[in-house]
Chains A and B, each alone.
Chain A
Amino acid sequence: MKYILLFCGTRDERRPASTPEELQRTYAEVGDWLRRNSSKIGSIHQLQPPDAATTVLLDRQRTPIVKDGPFLEGKELIGGYCEIDVADLDEALELARTWPGRTGAVEIRPVVPHELPGELDRS
């Protein structure tokens, strides 16, 4: 089964930015995690912070509206995502549990299996 792991965190202006050493350590841990689980991982992406986001608001009656900022407002943000292909939820949970993040959460979302290869599901 395919799932997307969403790496979630909270926006906290007061939290000091990570030092270069801390960042390096985190990237090294993520690298280890990817190597250990390489057979189960499709793609993984870290996202730029929400202030880099641009949102297109759709409305069938009108022309879409382009606005600055993310669609999801509030404290929570998605910092990245990872596509995985595993047997079942328990295996997905195991990957989420071992993700080397120190705070925040990992949300596991099953991917809808579409029956149109090459159309909706191109993997």
Chain B
Amino acid sequence: MTGAGDVGSVGDVAPSALSPAEVHAAVAAAFREEAGRLTATLVRSLGNFDLAEESVQDAILQALEHWPRDGIPGRPGAWLLTVARRRALNRLSRDARHTVKLEELGRQGAPGPDDRLELILTCCHPALPREGQVALTLRAVFGFTTAEIAHALVTSEEAVAQRIVRAKRKIRSAGIPYRMPSPEQLPDRTAEVLAVLYLLFNEGYLTTAGSGWRRDLAEEAAWLAGVLCRLLPGEPEALGLLALMRLHLARAAGRFTESGELVRLADQDRSRWDRSAIQEAVLLIERAAAMRRLGPYQVEAAIAACHAEAPAFESTDWLQVLALYDLLLSLAPSPVVRLNRALAVWRVAGPQEALRQLDELAGDLDGYHIFHAARGELLSEMGRQEQSRAARLQALALTGNQAERALLRQRLLM
């Protein structure tokens, strides 16, 4: 099958006019803007999630083949819709039971209104396992290819394909609906989506530096959080998550050295942080706060803002940070939050007290590299170098992330 030549090439951008990086950026932008809308439109008209999702994926693979060579169409959405629809028609025509759907599909038209919310909620349905939610969201909402998902999640293409097949099979066999949940259910369902987005963001955040891959998971997750804020204007936690992501991204330039080494918060060159992005994120937190429904993401964003707004590490408002961690613990208690709180205790009450609190978490966090890295820092500050070294070695043994390993090795040499 060839591309969607009938969509017209007026306004197409000749590939020669763009550098490969610009072509990549333009293709990624087109996919993320269009893939979710397109899948949503097709699910609506086909009444079949699996078929819609496969057809859009086919169109994306076609675009990846054609666009870098022939140029990006003036209306990428229309191009993708035409190819995806043709793909769906091909599949359906093999099956005589679908003649009615065929007629409906045959009618040309632009993508419908934005029903991405239903799509996102379906992909993140709590009846699906988390890894299935993640893979399906990346494919159906972001328009990632299976290869891109495998790269982003550091796993094999077969594993990703398997997760997607299983998730789609469960959607069908368990009767997971494609519709808005009841108003009573919406908050829980939204929380599930936010958890998936935060996981995606964190997956991308550490592997960001110089990966050279076409799509950046952290940027993509922040983009979808922005879409979600527009689709759910009354949801303060979506705004809180968006603010949190933007605050982290605003500090991205300071997180790595020129040669790609991870820099600790205390050592980052704060002049490289994006001040205007930080200010905008703080405005988002205020907008969320005005809705008067506090939640963990808003508090986490407020903590991130404390760090982002401090002119220097030493001038961080640690008492405020500590108070916010207490608030966070009351909303969403977890050992990792208690670990972070202990690090704020370090700055307020000294390393001894921080270490005491940290050691209480050993049972829960013994397998978590950050726990041992934090102990290493505290012990080193207290002059207990041998124990510090042991803790750092343990941290090193527990992480596979290259940037983190390099930083830990560097700390071990000090």
Interface size on B, residues (CB 8 A): 11
Does B182 lie within 8 Å of A89, measured CB to CB?
no
- Chain A, 65-81, CB within 8 A of any chain B CB: none
Of A87, A90, A94, A110, the residue contacting B173 (CB under 8 A) is: A110
Does A90 lie within 8 Å of B174, measured CB to CB?
no
Does B182 lie within 8 Å of A88, measured CB to CB?
no
Does B177 lie within 8 Å of A87, measured CB to CB?
yes
Interface size on A, residues (CB 8 A): 11
How distant is the Cα of A110 from the Cα of B171 in the complex, in angstroms? 11
Residue of B nearest to A108 (CB): B174
| Known A89-B127, A94-B185; 12 more pairs at CB < 8 Å | A1-B175, A87-B177, A88-B179, A89-B176, A89-B177, A90-B176, A90-B181, A90-B185, A92-B175, A108-B174, A110-B173, A110-B174
How distant is the Cα of A65 from the Cα of B214 in the complex, in angstroms? 62
Shortest A96–chain B CB gap in Å is: 11
Shortest A95–chain B CB gap in Å is: 13
Does B181 lie within 8 Å of A89, measured CB to CB?
no
Interface residues of A (CB under 8 A from B): 1, 3, 87-90, 92-94, 108, 110
Shortest A111–chain B CB gap in Å is: 10
Shortest B59–chain A CB gap in Å is: 28
Shortest B176–chain A CB gap in Å is: 5
Report B-chain residues with C-beta under 8 Å of the C-beta of A90: 176-177, 179, 181-182, 185
Residue of B nearest to A87 (CB): B177
Report A-chain residues with C-beta under 8 Å of the C-beta of B177: 87-90
Does B185 lie within 8 Å of A89, measured CB to CB?
no
Does A94 lie within 8 Å of B175, measured CB to CB?
no
Report B-chain residues with C-beta under 8 Å of the C-beta of A3: 175
Shortest B213–chain A CB gap in Å is: 35
How distant is the Cα of A41 from the Cα of B127 in the complex, in angstroms? 22
10 closest A-B pairs by CB: A88-B177, A1-B175, A89-B175, A88-B175, A89-B176, A90-B177, A89-B174, A110-B174, A110-B175, A110-B173
Shortest B50–chain A CB gap in Å is: 16
Shortest B127–chain A CB gap in Å is: 6
Does A88 lie within 8 Å of B173, measured CB to CB?
no
How distant is the Cα of A2 from the Cα of B127 in the complex, in angstroms? 17
Report B-chain residues with C-beta under 8 Å of the C-beta of A89: 125, 127, 174-177
Residue of A nearest to B177 (CB): A88
Residue of B nearest to A88 (CB): B177
Report B-chain residues with C-beta under 8 Å of the C-beta of A87: 177
How distant is the Cα of A34 from the Cα of B35 in the complex, in angstroms? 44
Report A-chain residues with C-beta under 8 Å of the C-beta of B179: 88, 90
Report A-chain residues with C-beta under 8 Å of the C-beta of B174: 89, 108, 110
